[in-house]
Amino acid sequence: MTRIVLLDPASPERLDRIRPLLPDGWTLTTAGSRDPQDQIAALRGASFAITGDVPVTGAMMAMPGLKAVHKWGVGYDGIDLDAARSHGVRVFRTTGSNAVAVAETTLGLILAVNRNIVRGHVGIRDGGWPKGQVAPSSATLSGRRVGIVGMGHVGRALARLLRGFGCDLLYSKRTPLPTDQEDGARFVPLDDLLAAADVVTLNCDLNDSTRDLIGRDQLALMKPDAILINAARGGVLVESDLADAIRAGRLRGAGIDVFSVEPILRDNPLLGLDRVVLTPHLGALDAGAFAPTIARMIGNLMAVQSGMPPRESDVLV
Q: How far apart are CA 193 and CA 168, in angstroms?
A: 11
Question: What CATH number did the domain enclosing 124 receive?
Answer: 3.40.50.720
Q: How far apart are CA 270 and CA 186, in angstroms?
A: 31
| Domain limits for position 38 | 2-97+286-314
112: enclosing H helix or E strand? helix 99-114
Is position 233 annotated as part of the catalytic site? yes
Q: Which of 119, 233, 252, 296 is catalytic?
A: 233
Q: How far apart are CA 292 and CA 59, in angstroms?
A: 31
Q: Which of 90, 275, 281, 296 is catalytic?
A: 281
Q: Which of 17, 115, 160, 262 is catalytic?
A: 262
Q: Determine the pLDDT at residue 58.
A: 98
Q: Determine the pLDDT at residue 133.
A: 95
Q: Are residues 69 and 196 in the same domain?
A: no
Q: Are residues 93 and 120 in the same domain?
A: no
Q: Are residues 192 and 271 in the same domain?
A: yes
| CB burial string 52-86: b at 16+ within 10 A, e below | ebbebeeebbbbeebebbbbbbbbbbbbbbebbee
Q: Are residues 69 and 103 in the same domain?
A: no
Q: How far apart are CA 69 and CA 64, in angstroms?
A: 13
Q: Are residues 75 and 148 in the same domain?
A: no
Residues constituting the chain: 317
Q: Are residues 77 and 163 in the same domain?
A: no
**C-beta neighbour count of 111 within 10 angstroms:** 16
Q: Are residues 24 and 129 in the same domain?
A: no
For residue 5, list its beta bridge partners: 29, 49
Q: Determine the pLDDT at residue 288.
A: 93
Q: Are residues 294 and 149 in the same domain?
A: no
Q: Are residues 48 and 126 in the same domain?
A: no
Is position 262 annotated as part of the catalytic site? yes
Q: Determine the pLDDT at residue 215.
A: 98
Q: Are residues 129 and 244 in the same domain?
A: yes
Do 250 and 221 meet the contact criterion of CB atoms below 8 Å apart?
A: no
Q: Determine the pLDDT at residue 175.
A: 94
Sign of CA dihedral 289, 65, 24, 308: positive
Q: Are residues 125 and 239 in the same domain?
A: yes
Q: Determine the pLDDT at residue 156.
A: 97
Q: Are residues 120 and 259 in the same domain?
A: yes
Q: Determine the pLDDT at residue 36.
A: 95
136 upstream amide cis, omega within 30 of 0: no
Low-confidence ranges of the chain (pLDDT < 50): none
Domain count for the chain, please give it: 2
Q: Determine the pLDDT at residue 185.
A: 98
